[in-house]
Amino acid sequence: MAFSLSALFELGWMESSGREGELRTDGIYEYTRNPQSVGFITFIVGTILAVNSSKLAVHGFLTALVYILFPFAEEPWLREHYGDEYEEYCEQTPRFVTGESMKRLLCE
């Protein structure tokens, strides 16, 4: 949830709802291109582990799958709108998180 709230705070509600603005690559966006998805998936996994319910695990898996697939639907628009700037950002920043991006986040 912290990733998600941080992303909404830094980006702003209007820009995160599909309205145009400048490409944000600072703050939490230095570590992942999709902090909202990372936050919600982390929350889902934590809830499943805490509750220990097979029904919740199935529902959580399906919900997490939506958050995993969502960036693939969004990225064509971002590529079209921001062009080379977005391509460069993609080369430097993982779609979700990697060990390297988490290490940078925790060590800074």
**Over the stretch 45-83, which tens digit does the pLDDT of each residue have?**
999 999 999 999 999 999 999 999 999 999 999 999 999
Tell me the pTM.
0.74
- Dihedral sign (CA 48, 51, 55, 56): negative
Tally of structural domains, the chain: 1
In this predicted structure, what is the pLDDT of residue 59?
96
Structure confidence at residue 7 as a pLDDT band (50, 70, 90):
low
What phi and psi, each to the nearest 5 degrees, are found at residue 52? 55, 55
Angle between helix 2-11 and 35-51 (nearest 10): 160
Q: Read out DSSP for 33-96?
A: S-HHHHHHHHHHHHHHHHH--HHHHHHHHHHHHHHHHHHHHHHHHHHHHHTHHHHHHHHHS-SS
Biggest alpha carbon–alpha carbon distance for the chain: 45
SS3 12: coil
**Residues of the chain with pLDDT > 70: what percent?**
81
In this predicted structure, what is the pLDDT of residue 50?
96
Model pLDDT for residues 20-49, shown as the tens digit of each residue: 688 999 999 999 999 999 999 999 999 999
Question: Which residues form the domain of 82?
Answer: 2-107
Nearest-5° angle of CA 77, CA 79, CA 81?
65
